[in-house]
Structure 1
Amino acid sequence: MQRWRSLDEMPADWGRCVLTIGVFDGVHRGHAQLISRAVKAAAVRGVSSVLMTFDPHPLEVVRAGAHPAQLSTLDRRAELAEELGIDVFVVMPFTADFMKLTPEEYVEELLVDRLHVAEVVVGDNFTFGKQAAGTVDTMRALGVRLGFEVDAVQLLGEHAVTFSSTYIRGCLGDGNVAAAAEALGRPHRLEGVVVHGDGRGKGLGFPTANVAPTMHAAVPADGVYAGWFTVLGDDALAGQRFMAAISVGTNPTFDGRNRTVEPHLLDFDADLYGKHVGVDFVEQLRGMRKFDSIDELVEAIQHDVDETRKVLRAETGE
């Protein structure tokens, strides 16, 4: 898969393509449906499939400081798009000037003159252009005039719930990581770097990796979770995943004030400081609470570890 940081990286001999457009935060099951439609349409036409996303998030430009919690990094989005068969992953810088493009300018200058679209695949609620004035009907009318087709896909959902990034953020905010995973098609992953903590977990017999999340990352509600810990990048441990009991919160038993993400890796203990990692949340075990004694806390952590093994073994069929 090719990755472009802007359309300036397009090759001079670029032909036509099938394009799908959106933020694609999380690349959830609804997004996967759009991407798969674009990949299949491109194969039928014998052209490239292109996914176009934006950076920063459009809301950050429309209303400074309004960046929603991020379900996935750009690198993670690209990785997931590649798994779904996309040929080209392009990141469009979302600027104040870009935001001012009218729907007609958006389509003519970007989609037709630059990308040479043969077909555009979008969700049926897609809007675009200045003040989001363009709709699917607008896109279809422009397609008739400018020579491309539009496939508007009804958003996927189950049990009267439409899968969306907003819905998934709500699930995470409630600590319902299992529902988030159902909508995503996989557990929610939080990425970050392992930093030094206060070392309290090690003193209790349960050492933790203190993970500093990437900027704007969607952190689940305070509580304890069963999940997986994976080292990312080109590290010698890259790709290996370890069972983890994950604490999210302020450590109220010790009157903590700073909110932290601290996975305790089961059956693994090594120097992880500075490593780029992914923390996948599978199931919430309990809420965060303040214990009356250290002994009571240690007993609860041991129970969390036992439950983590049970949950993850069931997930993997062991």
Structure 2
Amino acid sequence: MGDVQRWTDLTEIPDDLSGSVVTLGNFDGVHRGHRAVLAQVVDRAREEGVPAVAVTFEPHPLAVLYPERAPELIASLDQRLDLLESVGLDAVLVMEFTRELATWSPERFVEDVFVTALHARAVVVGQDTRFGARNSGDVATLCELGEQFGFDVEALSDQGDADGGAPRRWSSSQVRRLLDEGDVGAAAQVLGRAHAVSGVVVHGEHRGREIGYPTANLAQDSDGLVPADGVYAGWLLRPALPEGHTDHLLPAAISVGTNPTFDGVRRTVEAYVLDRTDLDLYGERVAVEFLEHLRPMLRFDSVEELVEQMRLDVDQARDLTTARRAERTGR
């Protein structure tokens, strides 16, 4: 079908859509469990010769129904859509989640969305999928409705093989907990890739440049869940540059926190691109990928002590990114 289509309303779905293979979920973070379901959607769609479609919601249903219980999202909507597109889907339907939509019965949701709008031939979901008013619909409900309306249902386990072969459950809440703990390495194991925060590079206090480590500071409205305060090894990506460009993927030492040595109060994400002082990234939208946690955020008694520790951080980040570059780039 060419480029991935993004629909934000049922009326945007083409009238001549003759069929589809569909999945449903919030897909926050698009972790390995999500990817297993999405891969099956794409495979089944290719077999059927119809588009592979994911249906998701914005905002998160809990943010509408129970704001006090709503999770901090791992990825923004734009990040989520990019990740969904990366798995080979042909289209993504983003339904605005409202209190009115929350009243739809499972039967109405399936008939209006899967049957009438998307002409689903098959629906592929995780075993714990719930939908409809008060989450009253489950896989058994979906199977009954599939028999009624003539589509197949595939329910996949939400467990996968972890490193070493032992099965484990992948979940977005697990990723959030690990990021809150600063364990970006373990979070990457669940996600199947390094976690990233993206945003526009803005001017900071320019202290890094003054002490020999100029940093790219992300704007406060950056996308993606910011991990715990600390120093990390990782990458700075420049998505506007084509893949293979020498400055597309840059090894970095990343700082998250308030800069306590300088009595800072604003929490920031800033990345020092290793051994580069010639970059002008202001105004550019970049992504910062977190590879490994190096140390907690500390307050130093002097700038000299800070600079010495930063030198050690940079050495460690250089070693880690050098060792992992082939794994990150696939070459």
| Band of TM-score, shorter chain | over 0.9
Deviation for aligned residue 1:80: 2.6
- 2:320 corresponds to: 311
The answer to whether 1:69 aligns with 2:78 is: no
Rounded Cα–Cα distance in structure 1 between residues aligned with 2:242 and 2:283: 11
Match of 1:312, as an amino acid?
T
What code does the residue aligned with 1:47 have?
V
Per-residue deviation, 1:9: 1.4
Which whole-Å CA distance do the structure 2 matches of 1:242 and 1:216 have between them? 19
CA RMSD, 1 decimal? 2.1
1:274 counterpart = 2:283:
yes
**Correspondence for 2:180:** 173
Query: Relative to 1, partners in 2 of residues 1:317 and 1:142: Cα closer, same or farther, differing over 3 Å?
Result: closer
Instruction: State TM-score, norm by structure 2.
Output: 0.90
Query: Is the 2:79–2:223 Cα contact (8 Å) retained in structure 1?
Result: no
Whether the aligned pair in 1 keeps the contact of 2:197 and 2:223 (CA below 8 Å) is no
What does the per-residue CA deviation read over 1:71-106, in whole Å, with 9 as the maximum and x for residues that have no partner? 223333333333322111221111221111111111
Amino acid at match of 1:170: R
- The secondary structure found in structure 2 opposite 1:128 is coil
After the TM superposition, which of the residue ranges 204-213 and 280-289 deviates more from structure 2? Answer: 204-213
In the alignment, is residue 249 of structure 1 matched against residue 252 of structure 2?
A: no
**4+ residue runs over 6 A deviation:** 234-239
Separation in 1, partners of 2:311, 2:127? 48
The correspondence for 1:163, drawn from 164, 170, 178, is 170
Query: Which residue of 2 is the match for residue 37 of structure 1?
Result: 40
Which of these residues, 126, 136, 144, is aligned with residue 129 of structure 2?
A: 126
2:10 paired with 1:7: yes
Indicate conservation of the 8 Å contact 2:20/2:51, yes or no.
yes
In the superposition, relative to structure 1, how do residues 215 and 297 fare at CA in structure 2: closer, same or farther (>3 Å)?
Answer: closer
Tell me which moved more, 94-103 or 268-277: 268-277
| Residue 153 of structure 1: aligned partner | 156
Task: Read off the aligned partner of 1:39 and give its amino acid letter.
Answer: V
Q: Deviations over 1:138-193 (max 9, x none)?
A: 11111111111111110134356411111011110111000011111110011111
Identity %: 46
How many residues matched?
Answer: 318
Residue 91 of structure 2 corresponds to 88
2:227 to 202, 215, 220: 220
Q: Give 1:302's aligned amino acid.
A: R
- 1:214 and 1:163 map into 2 onto residues whose CA distance is 28
Aligned partners of 2:207 and 2:12: how far apart in 1?
49
**What's the TM-score once normalised by structure 1's chain length?**
0.94
1:190-245: CA deviation from partner (whole Å, max 9, x where unpaired): 11111111111111111111112546731110100000011234799898111110
Once residues 137 and 312 of structure 1 are traced to their aligned partners in structure 2, the CA distance between those partners, rounded to angstroms, is: 47
Q: Which amino acid aligns with 2:40?
A: R
Q: Is the 8 A contact 1:26 1:72 kept in 2?
A: yes
Contact 1:119–1:151 under 8 Å retained in 2: yes
Output the CA distance in 2 between the equivalents of 1:14 and 1:301. 57
Do 1:172 and 1:219's aligned partners in 2 also have CA atoms closer than 8 Å? yes
2:299 pairs, out of 264, 271, 290, with 290
Q: CA deviation at 1:68?
A: 2.2
Partner residue, 1:259: 267
- Once the 2 structures are TM-superposed, how far is the Cα of residue 116 of structure 1 from its aligned partner? 1.1
- 1:3-49 deviation line (CA, Å, top 9, x unaligned): 22222211121111110111111111111100000111111122111
Task: Structure 2: give runs of 5+ residues left out of the alignment.
Answer: none
Q: Is the 8 A contact 1:194 1:210 kept in 2?
A: yes
Deviation at 1:128, TM superposition (A): 0.4
Distance in 1 separating the partners of 2:291 and 2:51: 35
